Each structure stands twice: as structure tokens, then as C-alpha cells.
Structure 1
Amino acid sequence: METHPSLVVKRSYPDLIIYAGEVTLGEKGRKKMDPKKRKLEKTRITEAACALLNSGGGVIAMQIANKTEHPVEMGQDLEKSLRELILSPNLQAFFETKQREDQFYIFVKSWNCGPEGGSDKPRICSLASSLYCRSLTSKVAMDSRDAFDFLKDKKACVKCSPTDDTAPPVKIPRATCQNNLESNVVFEIFQSEKLEYGQRLPFSESTFIEFKQFSTKHAQEYIKNIIPEYISAFANTQGGYLFIGVDNESKSVLGCPKDNVDRDSLKTVANEAISKLPVFHFCSSKDKVSYETRVIDVFQEGNLYGYLCVIKVEQFCCTVFSEAPVSCMVDKVKGVYSLNTEEWVRMMVDVGPEAASKEQSSLDDLSKDFECQLSLSNSPPHCRPVYSKKGLEHKADLQERLFPVSEDCLKYTPESLWSELCSQHESLENLVNQQICSFSCGLLILSRSWAVDLNLEEKQGVICDALLIAENSPPTLYTILGEQDEQGQDYCTRTAFALKQKVVNTGGYTGRVCVMTRVLCLSSQNNTETNGGSVSPIDYPSSYNLANIQEMQGLLQALVIVLLNFRSFLSDQLGCEVLNLLTARQYEILSKSLHKTRELFVHGLPGSGKTIIAMKIMEKIRNTFHCETDRILYICENQPLRDFIQEKYICQAVTRTTFMSYKFRTEWIQHIIVDEAQNFRTEDGDWYEKAKEITRRMKNCPGILWIFLDYFQTSHLQESGLPKFSHQYPKEELTQVVRNADKIAEFIHQELEKIRDDPPFSIPQESLSMLQEFNWPQGVSGTFELTYLSLEKVVSYVADKCHFFLSNGYSPQDIAVLFSTDSKRREYENMFLREIRKRRRASQMNDASVCRSNMFDSIRRFSGMERSIVFGINPYTVEQPISHNLLLCLASRAKKHLYILYFSGYY
């Protein structure tokens, strides 16, 4: 990673501030400068601008070298370079300037590929693409927009090719010129052993032919300099020949005098220059540029005069660069740094799941079942696409519910937290009101720690943080301390910086934005700011103020994405990261104070997202209590769910059996999350008492014990070890199904009603009231079938369906074939697998992935997991009181397609 030491990133501010040193400004001043110094200054400014555009925006600060008391403009050369950078004459779309005495500031808004400055723009800004192509007789440097189109076309060609993984690069045995006669003539010259000095070549320059003369003195250095651009141009077009040593106008062979160059070193220098060219493959090939170099003797009057160098270049399958592209990013740790070739290409063509999807079926599911909340087509470079399940609240609805803005008042939210804080701290209300009394329209969003909300570590001594979103003001973060603390400003600054970055780079906010900071202290004599309590090093332009309710709502909707996003389980299938949004109810549970809610029972109906909340709360525990991941323990009943959580690297994950084992060491554990607790048993001891004992070990600071369960999915009749329902306090409920398609949700509802009408003794009567709130988002298409067939026909049915899905873009990882017990799985698995393999081989499709997949399991072992397609094979249990529970557990695993197949005469 190449860094830029001449650009200094200021770390003590809540924004990205790059100090570019002393710079001469003003048209007259810059014209008088030494050209080299002027170029160096321009490079520093454009590199800083590029880095900020690509990293969420910020400020370039510089000191005016030519002292003046009067305002100065940047200078035409600087303005021109910035226009070229943003591919637009409209500098105001991304830049504003301001001068304060001898300090000059360029305010940079985050880049996005929306309408500013033109449409269909690249995902990132670049100073140079280092990509070339041929246009008639010229090599042409691609600007970043040309490069973006070129890369998109290359990627599309590879994606559309039926043999894109195995197809070799296109070969050209002879240069593909206008006609075969010219091709043959060129190839014959290329194959020549010797040519005469002054000999006129029988062809001219074209798209496929370039003539260059040797430099009179430094032949080898000359070759090193010209080869990268011409080889890139030929390889990225249709291939061709580079003749070095031919006069362009007369087409005469001149060569290079033998006294100026050594024959072998000439070829070596050319080959080394080509071998160093960066390439990027969209296909599976690992090939470098395919070329051949010939050094041809040039004779004059029968004597060896010198040498002609000819390089034949074949068209490349993907992309060839003359050098690494020139593009920058910045963060407070690395400073300003350059992207390497692979990073640059991947960011340039990062156009979302529509282009990246490995499985067409997953992409189809995404488009049919989800609504786009944030598209990459009009968002900053670091954003990920955001989708929510159809029928769930849109980001605008979530914003209106969580962060409503009124035209005629300034609201405090959440009101319950504000009341609680005011009752705990007598002077808090006056202190806060003093700060915001001048604002009449907006929202004050309170949190016990905005740092934790942003996945940063909490700071002790902070009573609360309050984010002000008000009309005619920039967003302002207030940190209220109980006592004076020198580190308070640093905490507030880091939190405000993270907030600003995430609103842009995660939330997709495309307006101008900064976050001001203020640190207040309750214990100070006048209830005013602490020393240095306000960091306002730069006077931002008025365009950074939120001008009206619409701008406030736009920022708040970006904030909703920041706070409610989680990585979709579809990401791995789609081949790129996709974010989903929590529901408002899920977010409310996650927003609870962990200091006050050490123990919690979360009752969630099937498919309501309990495991997602469990994962998110473990991240919050880590930041709230500053603990390592191995101090957080996740316990579940089954190995598949344990393995799934273990792969997230956010905790230790074990099964209940392991947890209760005498070999399992618990000394290091502080916090415990229990999932699918309804299926726990007491055969190995009282797991609940053990978990409580561990988390309450430190009496002054007990750990977290959150337990997630769903009585309606209980799959056994043994003692679960859970405390009585009346003793499960505090408790929360999740009643909205977010996983399953309409028809599957309807079946789940039917089974829940059957359980309600005749509940087994393992389900407390008090819990049945949850069913009155059961609901699901409407409009998600899917399949539900319940069929009775003979064993042979069931096997054939499943094999046919699996073959259909696997042939239409689904993968084995999308399918689960679940049996009533693990012994039944072992009994029938090979029978089903043989039939599936037969159909795959008959269609000449590779079945290796089927063999390696974990398609087969039991219903109980698969608890807590999910798949797009689920087959339930004879879901029968001799424990009749829980037969509907078993069906419910089976059905809730299926997101899209559910097939329940009974053996005839069995049920």
C-alpha cells in the first residue's frame, strides 16, 4: 500500500481533514511559479480531493504561501484538475471553498454516481486509469468514465460467455488488419531475419500497427517508457504490432545503431517491461499478456547497421494496465493511500448484486421478495446495497416511527429515556435546554452511548449522548459527562466522526454533511461546557446546515440504515455483501440498556428473527463492556446452529451438552446468550442455574444472560430447564414473522392455531396470548405442498424437484431435506442421494457440490437454521402431543419453498 506522506490527516477533528501544506493561490501567483513546484502543488491538491471524494467527503486545509490580506481564488490550473477529476465542469457539485486569513479550505462532498455532473459515472474517482486502447492510428488514454464502461463491458462479456471459466484468451496468429493481404504482409515482415536500412514497408499505421523511432541516445530507457502504454492499448483492443525503429511518415526502416544498443539487452528490456504490466481477470484465467518480441537485423550496404524491435501483441481476455491505476482513499489510521490494481477494479465495477450474483435464483429471490432501500446506482463508494423484505416497513416508514420530525416543535426521543435520565440527574434538563433553546424545529435523539450504537466502545462517565438534528443547523453531537474528564472531548470527537462516516458510507447520504461536537458537564459550576468542550476548527459553509424538513428526513433515513442494518444471509449466495434492515420491534429490543437489562427472556414466534438479534446483541455486549469475544458464550442445542454462529467470530459457541460437560472451562466467561432454549433439556444438569451462576459471579457488575426461545417449536416432552413462565422476567415478545413466504406463513399460522386449541403440557398457558399478535409481511411469493406418496415416489419426487432447482440456478446450500429423526436420516439419506445424482449425471451436470453439501439432516438438529427450499420427509413423531410443534419447526425453516411428504399409510 503506497501512502502519501506529503498529505497529513488531522486526527483530532470529527471529520476527515487533510492538510496539504503551503500552496500558492490566485491566478497571477500561480503563473509566476516554477513549473515543477506548481505541478507538485496541483498533485497534492488533486490527490487529497480524490481521497476525500472516495472516502465520504471532508476538508482540504492549506496555508496560503503568497501572503495576502485580500481573498484569493484557487487558480485556473487547480480548478481544471478538479473538473477533470469529477468528470464535470460543475465544481460546485462536489466542492466549495472558504478563506480565513491565511488559511484556505476546500470542502469536499462525498462522491456518488448519481446525477451530479452526469449520469452513468464510475463508482470511484481516479486521477488516471492507466488503461489505454487503440482508436484508428492512435493510442488513447481512457478517463475514468471510459474505463468504467470498458470494465463493465469486459465483465459482462465474461459473465455472458457460457464457457467463461475455461475459455482461453483470444489469439491472433497474425495482426487482424483491414484485410488478409495486409495481415500476411505484416506477419512476413515480423518473421524476417533482416531488413535493409531505408527499406519502405508495404503497409501504413492502423488500429493494429504503430511505428515509432528510437531515441537517438537512450534507446533502452525509451523502450521502457513507451512499451507500457502501447502494449496496454493493443491488448485492450484487438491486438497488433508495435514497430520500434520505423519512420512514421516515410514508413522507412531506420532501426537503432548497433553502437547505441545491445541486441540481447534490447529484447530483455522489452520483455521485462511487458512482464511488469498489471493485469486484471474477470474470468478464471491467470494468464499474463500474450506477446512475442523479435529483434530484426538492419543492414546498410551489406553491413550490419543496427536493429529493429517488433512486438506482436495478442488481444487480452480481460484488462491490461500500463501501470497501477492512480486513485486514493483516506482514513485516520492509514492516512492518504493509493489503491492497488485489484482494489481499484473491484471498486470501479462494484455495481451490486445484479452484476455480482453467482446464483441467478438468489438474484431472482432478491428482486421478487425484497424491496431495495439503497441502491449502488446513486450512493457513495463504500456503500453496500440495502434491501428489506417485501411488506415490511420502508426506511421512510421506519424513520417516521423511530425519528419523527415535526414542523412546529423540537422533539426529544425516545421520550422514555429522556424522562428516565432527567429523573436520575436533576440538572440535566436545564443543561440540555440551555443548549438547544434557540431551535424550534427538529429532533434531539438521546442514547446512553451513541458510541455503542455505532459499534464503538462505550466510555465510563458518560451520562448520555444527544444528537441534534435541527433546521438551519448542522448535525451536532452533545456528550454529557457527570464529572470533568480530559478524555471526554476525544470520545465525543471519535463518536461524531464515526457517525458522519457511517451516515455517508453505510447510510448512503449524498448531501453535504458534517457533525459538530459539544461536551457538557453536569458537575461544572455553571452547568456549561467543559474546557475545550466544543471543537469547531473550521467554519463550514451554510450549505452544511439542514435547510428544511426534507433534508432532515433524508439524513434521518440514512441514520435508520446505519442503526438497523445487518449483513444479509443472502450475501454469500449473491457473491457480494448485501444488507437487510431490522424491524422497528427488533431494534427496540436491541436498544435496551445492557447495564439495566442484565437478564432478559425474548419469546419469538417462528421466523421472527431471534438468532439475528442474538448475534447483534453479542456485538453490543463486546462494545458496552469492553470485553474480548472469548468472554461471550453462545449456547444452543444443535451442532449446525453452533457451527453457523462460530463462523461469525463474535463469540465462543457451544452446544448445551458441551456447556454442561465437566471438561468445559467457564472461568473466562462473563456473558451468556442462549438460543432455541425451548429445546434444551436437563439430562446433563441444570443449565439455567449454571448460566446464572456464571453471569452473576461478579456481584458488583453481573454479566449478561439473554435467553431466546419459542415454546411453540418445542420438539420434545422432557424437562427444558427453563424457569416457570411467571419467573421469566423481564421478557420481550417478537410476533412478526420476517422469514417465510406467504403460503408457508399461512401454514405456520394454521399449525399455531392447532397448538393453541390443544396445547401440550410443555407450553405455558400464559404464552398462548402471543398468538393474537401473529402477523407476517404480505406479498412474498412461494410454494407449499403437502403430499402422501409411497416411499419410492417420495424419493423420485424429491430427486426431480432438486434437479429442477439445481438446474435453475439454486445451489445445494439452498436446499434442506429434513427427516423426523437422525436415525431416519441415516436410513434414507443414501437412497435420496443416489436418485439426485442419477438425474445430475443424466443431464451431464456436475454433482460434486451435491455430494459435498449438507442437504440432509433431521428436523430437530436443523432448529434455528433456514434454507430457501425445504423438504420434510415423513415428519411423524410418536410423541403425539408435539406433532404440530414438529411440523411448525419444520415449516419455519423454509424461506421460499416447502414440501411436506408423508409415506402413504403412515399417517
Structure 2
Amino acid sequence: MIKMDDSTVKRKRMSSGTSALEAREITQNLYRYGETILNCNVHIIQGIRESGNEFVLKYVCALLNSGGGILHMRNLDHVQIGVQPKHLDTWWSGMENKFADILSCDDICNYFDMVGNYSDPDLYLFVKSAEHLCSLDYHCRLPTDTATHEVSYHSVMKLLQHKGAPWSISDLPLIPENFQYARTDSKIKQETKQIQFKYLSEGSKDSKSIPQKIKQMVSKYISAFANHEGGHILFGIDDVRASAMGELLSEEDQDRTVELINSRMENVIWGDEEFIPEQGKHWDICFKPVIGSPKKKARRVIVVVSVCKFPGGVFTASPDSYFVNEFGDIETWKFSEWKLSMLNPLRDKPDLHNRFIKLPISVPQSPLIFTLRQSIEKIEKRLLSDANKNLVLPHHYMDCIKDLKVKDFIRSVLNIFNVDRHMMIVVNCWGLQVTALQPSDVICDVLVLTENQGCHLVTISQISSEQIWEHCRYVAAFIKEKLVCHGGCVEKFGLVCHVANMDGYDDEIENSLSDNFYPSHFYVTPTKFDSLVQSLIITMAAYEPIDFSTLNTTKSMREVLATDKYFFLLTCDQFDLICKQQFTKELWVHGPPGSGKTVAAVQFIAELRRRGCQKDDVLYLAENELLCSYVRSFSFCLVTTRRKILELYFDLKKFNETYQNVKNVIVDEAQNFKDRDGDWYGLASHLVSRHENNHGMENCCGYFWVFMDYSQKVHKFKAGLPSVIGKNNYMLSEVARNSKEIFDFAKQFLDTAKTSDDQDETSALKKVDSQPHLAHEYSSGHEVEIIKCKQENIEKAISKVLNQLMENGTEIGDVAILVGKSKDKQEIEHAVQDIQKEAQMKEGVLVDTVHRFSGLDKLAVIGVNPHVNEEHASLQKFLLSLATRAKDNLVIITTSDDLKLSKTFKSKP
């Protein structure tokens, strides 16, 4: 297999401009484009909105709102006699003007590339994602001193953000009660932004009746006035001299006018589809007599339609805005969805800004994602380092392929791209979940990002068929959409599809690397490469904190917008763990408090479920019932405590019925386990090992992951764990939970607490150890407070601290009071109930032991009289576990003079 020198590719591409790509080449290779492709017919010798040409605008709007793509336009006039280049130029110039209106800007060169000429049967428009939601018509207006005008995107955004109660028409400027024929009233001498004139009875050749004309014309004034300061539109006033001429309306015509205006009002959207405006309060219509009109004429009146000021935007119809749904069809937004999408860039969670930054993703329908500073940069550095050392990510994926011939074939195909900076990641693994079922002949799909050879989706298959190519195209288009809509990549880039089949592979991929599939503006550069990798990281690593589902499992961004979801990004360590170790069968994950061990554990369970595991195939095991309840709430695996599973084991029949399908076990906070009730570790290991020989299930059974932290092993008796020597050990070191003040306080106990009582194990862990460090720079401003008091004053001290927290804005549900023993818990619970009743606080303060609260956290923690039996437990590790439960605020109330604390943290009387 010949390997092309990448400098050859660069030279060819740098010398190739947009003109080098021809429409016929695109037509021949259309099956290779990993894009959303829409199709329509066009007539270039006719107007923009004639003979179906308006579909171009509709489809372009949909692509701009859905991550971009290709619009394939069938040129029905290419064989017409007399068709000339000027026809295409004129037609396309009009289209470009409309595109500029859609984008609310004039830099359309950054969004569109058209390939084709007047004689081509096919024209192709390459569309890049817009950076805000686009609409063809907002059906929304604002007034000027003489008329109204359509609003821009920026004006609509301002209107949608206006809040407050609707005004009343009683707040509007007063108008005369009656008018003198052909005279100008001194109160309304000229038009303003609140008063507009129209005269319809004379000078119009329109065959429509006056009531119909009023209905047709009044809509834009309703929207314009309501969106500004409110106002009156007066029909029957000559707008040249402001003289009262009156409209010729009989009583029947007046009744008909009222009826038509009422029917028109039913279609007007007042800020929200559910809001119903009241006539006489928010709007009204009345008829003012015109005195002194010629008797030979019919009755003349001034028709006054009044509209109040209405914050939030008033629309005469739902805006014309389109998107491509998950089935590849064009849909129009409902008004409520359109409004959510418009306001989506403004969504935020200000309370998270202390630790996290909001990712500045500027594409329509973009998710709200928070991350620690520099996490993306750190992940990118590690990924690229590994990508350049290894052929394909994730680690150990190739080890899962037992057939050496298949393995060698994959390596030989992907070796083509093993030049300069690149990344190859198997799509069928964690982080890039594709919704479509994989054909049985497909071995794997690999996303390839390169700095100089572009972006590719390579499907490795046993055979080549139309179905395989369709699968490849679907996966590529799916990933590109995710990189843009989820990952926020706003660069112009393309994704080229390849099928490498073992049944007669012919170097097709190598030969195609020198071909131009996209306009030159789509070629990948070093800057684009970095942007693509970062978007890939965001797409893979974002997860919802409520149910731990990843961004890619979301079926539709409409769901994300409707439910106000937001996402976190995994830390660099967490990402590294799940991405690299996802095929490691047995793994011991160590990490200091607050490093996200439970988050990683739950993410890995979610990955096992994605691979095909059922709920009862995976068992989550912990010592702490509260932690089990937390994980159980996600309802995606079996959950139990060490004590309960050992108790059930005595009833072997019931045990087998409950756990007969368990193939994977995830153990969390293992340092808290005890060996006093039986060999829990041996039992858990047996549940996993009994399925080792299940053929065809290698990737979703036999996983045994243990999450633990020896520095939090408070009790001195054995936990029932074997030695870590010789195990696959992984260390999480980034602490994200605690503020800097709490981390600095806890670090004194972290430093003094031995990693393990066994020196050999300590040495083994040092090989994977990384010094715990804060993953953020957040300081809450709340120093750790140590309150020394007498036993009889503890209740009073707790009351004082609770009141201070409430005064500082802490919610009662964000507070936990932690004690050492269960008997202490009962006493403090009664005391807290009395405090809440006396202070008229709503209930919600959690009281529990430090041991039972292990693995959990609260914004504020009050530790009450921390103490342990030194013969059975370590006070230093107990204090570490206590302190690290608090995110922002830690107060310790103690009666002891012997509580050993750093001199930096002085106690208060």
C-alpha cells in the first residue's frame, strides 16, 4: 500500500481554489458527503419567489439553523434555449440579498459557497451553520414617525427580553372625540411613533371593501405600536394634510370591521401563545363621527384602533423559521419553541460561575454547558499526545478484536492517515453514540481528523454495499451535526465518507485523498484542526448532572430547550479515565475527596448500558445507603449495599433470582467497606467471573471496577479489599467540589493521612499517584470556622450558625449537619427540629453521620463535635471526610480542647 506524502496533498490543495471544484464532480461523488443534503428544483430564468424558487430560502434557513449542509438544486432551465450566464447571475444576486436579510448581516461570504454554472443540471450550495437562529420573516414590526418597519434579529432579541406587566390603552395620548370634515385637529397635526394616519375611501383602485382593507393594514400597526410605546391608528385621516376626511362606512360596515378586527386579533401573538388580550384594556376599536361632511356622501367616520404597550414582543403570526429534524425533514418552529431557541444564547446559571465557566457556544439550538477552566485544553493535550503514539483511540479497543486478520486490516487502512497531527477515534465507543443500528457486516466506524488531509469517516466492513455506504453517510452526517450543534464548531469543514471492505480493498482511500470534495474554504488548517478537536471533546464529555445522560444521548435539542437542561463537562482526569480505560475489565480507581469518583462510576455504567447491557446486568455496590439511593434514582442498574447483598446471600435461592443476570460490578467508596459480615469482595468478583466465557458479549460483560480513596479510610479494621499490588490502578487528582478555603483546610489532613497502612501498597500507588490539586481557582470568601463551646451550649451554637447561613442567602436544603455516631445524630435531630420551629424555618436541614454521608456533599456543612474512638478509627481521616463534604461553607462546632487543627485555622470562642 503506497503512502502519500502529506506535503504533496498540501501543495495540491493550496493551489486549488473554489473554481477547481465543478458541479459534475459533486454529482458523481454525492454519496461521499457526510452532510445533511436537501434537494429542490429551481428556475434560474424566473424570479426568486416564482415557480417554487421560494423553497431555496426555506431550505437555506433550515440548514443555517441545523448545523449546515448542502442544498442540491436541480437546474430545470439548463436545457432552455436562450439561457445565458446573466440569468444565473441575476437570479443568484437576488438570492444573496435574501440570504443577507436572513442572517441580519452582509458577510454572507462566510456562510455560503455555490458551485455550478447556468448550463449545469445540478447546482450545489454549501451552507455553514449560522451563529444565531435565522428566520425568513419575524412578522414583527416597530414604528417610525411616518410608518412601520420590519424588525431585525437584534431588535427581536431586545423585544423578547423586555419584561413587565402590559400597559393599558388608558395610558395612550388622548385623541379628539369628534372631527370636523376636511379640517386638521390641533391635537393631532402630524404622525408620530404613537399616532399614524391612513385614508382608504378614495384614491385606491383595490377592489377590496373598506373593512377588508382595514383588517389587512391594521396588523402591522398592532405589532409596531405594541412593541414600542403603544398607539392609535386612525383610518380616515389624510396623511398629507392631516385633515379628517372620514371613511365611508355604513353601520353594517362598522359591524363587519369590528368582526374582522376581532378575527385578526385571534392570530396575533402577544408575547406568548397562551396570552389573550382584553378588548378595552390592551386594545380597542371605536368609530368617531366626522361632522360637516357633504350630505350627498355616505356616513363618514374615523376608525380608531388603539393598542397598548406590551413588553415581550407582539407578532402578527408565528415567525417563519425552519430546521431539519432528526428524520431529515424540514419543520417549522412552533412559536414557543422558536422563542426558546431565540433566547437560548442568554440561558445561564449564574450560581455556577464561581467554579465553572459557561462555554461560549454560538450556534442555533446550542446546549448550555459549564466546564472548569482549561479542562478542554488539558484534555486536548492528552488526547493528541496519545493519538500520535497510538494508531487509534480508545486504548485497548484493538485488543477487543480477536481476529488477527481483521485487526491487521484496520491498522493498514488507518495507517494512511498517520501523518502530521491527527486523531482517530472509534465511533462505536463511549462519547460518540450514534442512534442508528449498525449493519451486521460493519466492523467499526472511525472518525479521522487530520491537520492537512481533512476530516473523514471510515467504515471498516466485511463487504461493500449500498446499505454500508448509506450507513457511513448517516454516521458522518450525524457526527458533523453534533460537532457543530453540540460542540459549537463554527468553522467551515467537510466530512468525507469512505468504506474499506475486506472483500477486495483497492486503495480507494489513498487515491481519493488528493481529490477536492469541498470548496477550498472548507479545507482544514491548524487552527480549524484545534477547533474541531475541542468541539469533539465537548460533544463527548458533556453530561447532564440530573440524570448523568450524555449530550449525545439527547434525541432532540428541542427537548433540551423545552426542559431547560444544562450540562457539565467531565474533568480532564474523568475524561481520560472513561475514554482510555473503557475496555479495561478490572480497574481500581483512586482519588481524593471531591475528584468525581462517583460521577466517573455512573458514566461508566451508562456506557455499559449503551453497549447493550440491561438494567439487571450491572450492579452498583456501596457501603452508604444514601449514596445508593442517589444512584438508584437514575434507574439504570441494580443498586445495593454491602450489608444487604451479604444478608441476601444467606437465602441462596432469592439471591440467585435477584442477581442471576449480573455481569458487571461497580464498587464505590470501597474504603468504607467492612469484612466483618463476610467476603463481599469474593462474592462480587464471583458475580463477574462466572460470565467470562460469554462469547459475543466481550464488550459488555466481565467488568469489575473499584472506586476508592485510602485517605478517607476512617476505620482501622480491614475493609475486605485485596492488595492493590499488581492491579490496574488509575488516579484521579483534580478536586472540583470544594472551595479553595475548604481545600486548603482539608489538605492538612490529606497530607497527614497515610494512603494505606501497608507500605508495599503505598509504594505501588505512588507509581500512579498524582498530587491532589484544585481544578479551579474559586474562593468562596468563607474561611473555615472552628467554634469552641461547652456541651450544654451546642444547640445554641447550631442555632446561631444556621441563622447566619440563612441571613447570607443559603437555602435550608443546602445545609447538612454531620456528626460522628448514630446516637449523636438522634440528639442533634431533636435539637434542630426545636431550632427550626422556634425560628420559623422551613424544614429541610439534613442531619446524618459523616460515615453515612460519605460520597455526598452540600453547599454548607456544620460538623458537630467530631470525635472517634482512636483504637478503631483515625481522627485525621474522619476530619478529612467531614471537611470535604462541604462545597462553600464549613463550620465545625467542638467541645474538645484536643481537636488537632492546623494553626492557620484558629478556633473561635
Q: TM-score, normalised by structure 2?
A: 0.78
Deviations, residues 205-241 of structure 1 (Å, cap 9, x unaligned): 3222233446774455444433432222222212222
Residue 668 of structure 2 aligns with which residue? 675
Paired position in structure 2 for 1:817: 817
Q: Which residue of 2 aligns with 1:869?
A: 860
1:507 correspondence with 2:524: no
Change (3 A) 1:500 1:607: same
Structure 2 Cα separation of the partners of residues 104 and 746 of structure 1 = 64
Paired position in structure 2 for 1:644 = 630
Deviations 1:749-771 (A, max 9, x none): 322343319x6799976777489
What is aligned with 2:531?
554
Give the counterpart letter for 1:441 in structure 2.
D
- 2:533, 2:577 → 1: CA distance? 20
Residue matched to 1:412: 391
Match of 2:8 in 1: none
Task: Count how many residue pairs are aligned between Structure 1 and Structure 2.
Answer: 818
User: Structure 1 residues 817, 281: closer, same or farther in 2, change over 3 A?
Assistant: farther
Distance in 1 of aligned mates of 2:389 and 2:115: 31
**Do the aligned residues in 1 keep the contact of 2:665 with 2:703 (CA within 8 Å)?**
yes
**Match status 1:37 vs 2:50:** yes
2:42 corresponds to which residue? 23
Give the one of 888, 891, 895 matched to 1:899.
Answer: 891
Question: For 1:620 and 1:813, how far apart are their aligned partners in 2?
Answer: 32
Shift of 1:823: 4.4
Code of the residue aligned with 1:318 in structure 2: it is G
Q: One-letter code of the match for 2:170?
A: P
CA distance in 2, matches of 1:687, 1:458: 38
Residue of structure 1 in register with 2:773 after alignment: 776
Q: Is the 8 A contact 2:616 2:659 kept in 1?
A: no
Q: CA deviation at 1:110?
A: 1.2
Find the aligned partners of 2:194 and 2:40 in 1 and give their Cα distance: 46
Give the aligned partner of residue 707 of structure 1. Answer: 706
Maintained 8 Å contact 1:59/1:107: yes
Which residue is 2:573 aligned to? Answer: 585
Alpha-carbon distance in structure 1 between the residues aligned to 2:819 and 2:633: 25
Match of 2:601 among 602, 610, 614: 614
1:130 aligns with 2:139: yes
Alignment map for 1:677-692 (pairs within 5 Å): 677-681=670-674, 687-688=680-681, 691-692=684-685
* 2:593 counterpart letter in structure 1: P
Q: State the secondary structure of the residue aligned to 1:342.
A: helix
1:142, distance to aligned residue in structure 2 (A)? 0.8
Change (3 A) 1:714 1:267: farther
On the 8 A contact 2:860/2:890 being kept in 1, the answer is: yes
Counterparts in 2 of 1:384 and 1:309: CA distance versus 1, 3 Å = same
**Structure 1 CA distance, aligned partners of 2:141 and 2:304?**
19
**Aligned ranges for residues 242-391 of structure 1 at < 5 Å?**
242-249=233-240, 250-252=242-244, 254-258=246-250, 261=253, 263=255, 265-280=256-271, 288=277, 290-296=281-287, 298=289, 305=299, 309-333=303-327, 335-352=329-346, 356-357=348-349, 362-363=351-352, 366=353, 368-371=354-357, 374-376=359-361, 379-390=362-373
5+ residue gaps, structure 2: 1-28, 202-206, 549-559, 649-653, 900-909
C-alpha spacing 1:435/1:564, structure 2 compared with 1 (3 Å): closer
Corresponding residue of 2:424: 445
1:203 aligned residue (187, 190, 193): 187
CA distance in 2, matches of 1:806, 1:730: 46
C-alpha distance in 2 between matches for 1:671 and 1:49: 48
1:324 deviates by: 1.0
Structure-1 separation of matches of 2:428 and 2:702: 18
Distance (Å, rounded) in 2 between the aligned partners of 1:318 and 1:864: 44
Q: Which amino acid aligns with 1:745?
A: F
C-alpha contact (below 8 Å) 1:637/1:679 kept by paired residues:
yes
8 Å Cα contact 1:567-1:579 kept in structure 2: yes
Amino acid across the alignment from 1:257: L
Q: Does 1:173 align with 2:170?
A: yes
CA positional deviation for 1:727:
8.4
**Partners in 1 of 2:285 and 2:417 — Cα distance?**
79
- Give, in angstroms, the shift of residue 203 of structure 1: 3.2
Do 2:814 and 2:859's aligned partners in 1 also have CA atoms closer than 8 Å?
yes
Read off the aligned partner of 1:774 and give its amino acid letter.
Q
C-alpha deviations, 1:111-168, integer Å up to 9, x for none? 12xxxxxxxxxx322212222222324223211122123334x2xxx4xxxxxxxx64
Structure 2 counterpart of 1:147: 156
Q: Give the counterpart of 2:58 among 47, 61, 66.
A: 47
Q: Note closer, same or farther for the CA distance 1:452–1:133 as it changes in structure 2 (3 Å cut).
A: closer
CA contact (8 A) 1:712 1:763 kept: no
Contact 2:428/2:434 (<8 A) preserved: no
Return the offset for 1:96.
0.5
Deviations 1:339-382 (A, max 9, x none): 222222222233356xx33xx5x15xx2x43356x314xx2223
Deviation at 1:508, TM superposition (A): 1.9
Secondary structure of the residue aligned to 1:543 is helix
Q: Is the 8 A contact 1:411 1:442 kept in 2?
A: no
TM alignment of 1:758-769, pairs within 5 A: 769=766
Q: Distance in 1 between matches of 2:441 and 2:727?
A: 29
Q: What is the rounded CA distance, in whole Å, between the counterparts of 2:639 and 2:259 in structure 1?
A: 57
Cα–Cα, structure 1 residues 648 and 309, in superposed 2: closer, same or farther, change >3 Å? farther
- Distance, in Å, in 2 between the alignment partners of 1:746 and 1:619 is 33
Picking from 536, 542, 557, the partner of 2:520 is 542
For 2:379, the equivalent position in structure 1 comes to: 398
Q: 1:442 to 1:201 in 2, by over 3 A?
A: same
C-alpha change, 1:445 and 1:724, in structure 2 (3 Å) is same
Distance 1:639 1:416 in 2: 34
Q: Distance in 1 between matches of 2:604 and 2:436?
A: 14
Summarize the Cα distance change of 1:719–1:199 in structure 2 as closer, same or farther, 3 Å threshold: farther
Letter in 1 for 2:158: D
Amino acid at match of 1:478: V
Work out whether residues 256 and 308 of structure 1, in 8 Å CA contact, stay in contact via their aligned partners in 2: no
Q: Secondary structure at the match of 1:312?
A: strand
Q: Which runs of 5+ in 1 are unaligned?
A: 1-9, 113-122, 159-166, 178-182, 842-846
Distance 1:691 1:310, change over 3 A: farther
Residue 466 to residue 129, structure 1, CA distance change in 2 (3 Å): same
> Could you say which residue in structure 2 is the equivalent of 1:477?
457
Contact kept in structure 2, 1:457 and 1:623, CA below 8 Å: no
**Is the CA contact (8 Å cut-off) linking 1:439 and 1:471 kept in structure 2?**
no
Task: Please tell me whether the aligned partners of residues 688 and 704 of structure 2 are also in contact (alpha carbons under 8 angstroms).
Answer: yes
Task: Give the aligned residue type for 2:329.
Answer: G
Using the aligned pairs only, state the percent identity.
Answer: 23
1:95 shift after superposition: 0.5
8 Å CA contact 1:255–1:298 kept in 2: the answer is: no
Which residue, out of 107, 110, 119, partners 1:93?
110
Whether the 8 Å contact between 1:297 and 1:304 is mirrored in structure 2 is no
Contact 2:865 2:896 in 1 (8 A): no
Q: For 1:561 and 1:471, how far apart are their aligned partners in 2?
A: 19
C-alpha distance in structure 1 between counterparts of 2:248 and 2:614, whole Å: 67
Q: CA deviation at 1:335?
A: 1.5
TM-superposition CA deviations, 1:611-634 (whole Å, max 9, x none)? 111121122112222x45565443
Cα root mean square deviation, aligned: 4.4
Distance 1:590 1:771, change over 3 A: closer
**Which deviations, in whole Å up to 9, do the C-alpha atoms of 1:667-703 show, x marking residues without a partner?**
5655443322333456776554554455455441445
